[in-house]
A and B are shown apart, each in its own frame.
Chain A
């Protein structure tokens, strides 16, 4: 499967045979990845799958035990300094200086990126504006809400105009509004052509944001492809029809032979290939005579993905 997308002209991240263990616990057991420049790539997996470890290795924080990895054509081990100059990292836990104000945090990043003073100030003002932090600019970041902290965190990451950004569970711990703001931020960055590697536990998030998804399970990549390709491989998607009585259920089950009736719940589950077309087909086959009390569409979640790909529900990996 050649899944490189339209943008990909050059390789931003190239990883092969990456291994990492802590004592006897194997965290990464031979991970291969290839991310094209300009792609938004999601690493999807439950807790303990090795997502953060992968990001920590690729962002030069820790060394792998084995395997090779290069970022923007630079070897991670031999040219770590050059890699660091091109990347930006926002982790799960805020990496702010809580004693400094939002503005001071950004200026500090500018200094450490060795930007000239005028650029430093201009970019700080620009980022405060972009991330809706102008009003809070002069307050110490310790007083910020979770969403504000995450926005400042991303703004600090962007200070050096990185060509590749690692986002480790960027929406974990955010409220729904904060999550949607963050999704928009990620979409905007993707539209600007920045390469993004994000990790997430949520299939929906990967589906919404990523050009390509790799599913990580216990240190292995178990599937890789575009969101559409992956969803096609999931048997979990179905339409659920509920009826008022057993007679209606019987009639519906005769009309939709691929459905699975549940006599107790008076429900019929019909596989759904996805889209309006499939839904219209189901409704058409039902005809006008069968009274449906309720119709719902069940989309696969991470549990379904894992069950489909590994035969294990994801919860088994949660520690």
Chain B
């Protein structure tokens, strides 16, 4: 068998697994989407209406004269991507703790196909959930100033960030003992990192220690790139930093997940 045949089979198997995971997603529709859409929407409502008045006032120059919702939504969209981590980790864990993965392992199936299917569908889910949340934001008065090229960049960041988080969540799902445990492991990604970044307020307003963390963690450049694109501000080097983080997280998650997958064969 040539390398090309091997590659063709790997692509075919990954497509098969992607189709399988897509069916799972449609069958668990409510479970997967309600969590990944509802939480960001509640956050959006909470921060825009309840806390937004005070925060918007305090923001002053940081919002560059725009309403708080325009500052908030780019961060909420990244939080939406992060909320998808739970579904990925839970689904991977469910596969790994069930008997089906042993069946796949005893078949001549490309080793990476199962994970590739999970990651591929995670990205698709993120595109759907962020679109829905963007729709809700528009109804609530969000007014993006992005050009067509900017929108392309927005989609690119959603894809890159969800791809990176999907590999990391897949690894977390591998090492978790149960679905509940898998969900728990993604909580820092879903909540801690968004809050300790400039998602809701600029990092520059935080106390020194937290501020240092917020400014150097991956969420920050991702959120700021999104914000720049959606508010029509110059993006600058932040986008490169964001993409570098996405690449690093994806690579680390991929290597970790792959190691965890083959650890099962001892």
Query: Which residues of A pack against B, CB within 8 Å?
Result: 59-63, 81-82, 84-85, 87-89, 91, 93-100, 104, 108-109, 111-114, 140, 156, 160
27 A-B residue contacts at CB 8 Å? A60-B105, A61-B105, A61-B265, A62-B265, A63-B266, A84-B108, A85-B108, A88-B106, A89-B106, A93-B99, A94-B99, A95-B98, A95-B103, A96-B99, A96-B100, A99-B24, A100-B20, A100-B23, A108-B20, A109-B107, A111-B16, A112-B16, A112-B109, A113-B107, A113-B108, A114-B12, A156-B103
Q: Decide yes or no: A112 and B106 within 8 Å by CB, A93-B99, A98-B98 being known contacts.
A: no
User: Once the chains bind, are A62 and B100 in contact (CB under 8 Å)?
Assistant: no
The distance in angstroms between the C-alpha atoms of A194 and B249, with both chains bound, is 47
Tell me the smallest distance from the CB of B60 to a CB of chain A, in Å: 51
Interface size on B, residues (CB 8 A): 23
In Å, the complex CA distance between A82 and B16 comes to 20
Given contacts A84-B107, A113-B107, 6 further A-B contacts (CB under 8 A): A61-B106, A61-B265, A87-B106, A94-B99, A108-B16, A112-B13
- Residues on the A chain within 8 Å of B23, using CB: 99-100, 104
How far, in Å, is B178 (CB) from chain A's closest CB?
16
Please report the C-alpha to C-alpha distance between residue A307 and residue B98 in the assembled complex, in whole angstroms: 37
Main secondary structure of the interface of B (DSSP, over half): helix
CB pair B266–A89 under 8 Å, yes or no, is: no
Query: B49 near A: Cβ within 8 Å?
Result: no
Q: Residues of A contacting B100 with CB < 8 Å?
A: 95-97
The reply on B27 being an interface residue by CB < 8 A is: yes
Residues in B with CB closer than 8 Å to A98 are: 98
Whole-angstrom distance between the Cβ of A59 and the nearest chain B Cβ: 5
* Shortest CB distance B168–A (Å): 24
Q: Are the C-beta atoms of A63 and B265 separated by less than 8 Å? A: yes
Interface string of B93-122 (1 = CB under 8 A from A): 000001110111111110000000000000
Q: At the interface, yes or no: B9 with Cβ under 8 Å from chain A?
A: yes
**B66 adjacent to chain A (CB < 8 Å):** no
Residue numbers in A under 8 Å from B27 (CB-CB): 99, 140
Across the two chains, which residue of chain B brings its CB closest to A56?
A: B102
Would you list the 5 A-B pairs with minimal beta carbon distance, nearest first? A95-B99, A95-B103, A84-B108, A85-B108, A111-B16
Nearest Cβ on chain B to A154's Cβ, whole angstroms: 12
Task: Find the A residue at minimum CB distance from B266.
Answer: A62
| Interface class of chain A by DSSP | loop
Q: A96-B99, A97-B100, A112-B13 are in contact. Are A60 and B20 (CB under 8 A)?
A: no
Query: Are A91 and B99 closer than 8 Å at their CB atoms?
Result: yes
Q: How far is the CA of A97 from the CA of B109 in the complex (A)?
A: 16
Q: How far is the CA of A59 from the CA of B108 in the complex (A)?
A: 11
Distance of A297 from chain B, by nearest CB (Å): 40
B28 contacts the other chain (Cβ, under 8 Å)?
Answer: yes
Chain A residues with Cβ under 8 A from B28's Cβ? 99
A91 engages B102 (CB within 8 Å): yes
Q: What is the bound-complex CA distance between A138 and B70, given in angstroms? A: 48
Instruction: A85 to B9: give the CA distance in the assembly, Å.
Output: 13
B102 to chain A, nearest CB (A): 6
Looking across the interface, which residue of chain B has its beta carbon closest to that of A80?
Answer: B108
B103 touches A60 (CB 8 A): no
- The residues of A that contact B106 with a CB separation of less than 8 Å are 59-61, 84, 87-89
What residues of chain A lie closer than 8 Å to B103, measured between beta carbons?
89, 95, 156
Query: What residues of A have a CB within 8 angstroms of the CB of B24 in the complex?
Result: 99
Residue ID in chain A nearest B8 by CB atoms: A114
Q: Are the C-beta atoms of A61 and B107 separated by less than 8 Å?
A: no
**A121 to B104 Cα, complex, angstroms:** 20
Residue of B nearest to A94 (CB): B99
CA distance A284 to B114 in the complex (A): 68
Q: How many angstroms from the CA of A112 to the CA of B100 in the assembled complex?
A: 13
- Looking at the assembled complex, report how far the CB atom of A314 sits from the nearest CB atom of chain B, in whole angstroms: 27
Provide the bound-state CA to CA distance between A93 and B103, in Å.
11
A63-B265, A99-B27, A100-B23 known; A112-B105 Cβ under 8 A: no
Asked if A114 contacts B9 (CB within 8 A), the reply is: yes
CB distance from B200 to the nearest CB of A (A): 36
Measured between beta carbons, the chain A residues less than 8 angstroms from B107 are: 84, 109, 112-113, 160
Give the docked Cα–Cα distance between A160 and B108 (Å).
Answer: 10
Contacts A63-B265, A99-B27, A111-B16 given: A81-B108 contact, CB under 8 Å?
yes
Q: CB within 8 Å of A: which of B26-54?
A: 27-28
B12 nearest CB across to chain A (Å): 7
Q: Say how far B139's CB is from chain A's closest CB, in angstroms.
A: 33
Q: A84-B107, A112-B107, A113-B107 are in contact. Are A61 and B102 (CB under 8 A)?
A: yes
List of A residues within 8 angstroms of B265 by Cβ:
61-63
Are A95's CB and B102's CB within 8 A? yes
C-beta contact mask, B71-96 vs A, less than 8 Å → 1, else 0? 00000000000000000000000000
Note all chain B residues with C-beta closer than 8 A to A104: 23
**Residues on B with beta carbons closer than 8 Å to the beta carbon of A140:** 27
Would you call A97 and B20 a contact (CB within 8 A)?
A: yes
Give Cα distance in the complex from A99 to B16, angstroms.
Answer: 15
- Alpha-carbon distance A156/B23, docked complex (angstroms): 18
Distance between A132 CB and nearest chain B CB, rounded to angstroms: 21
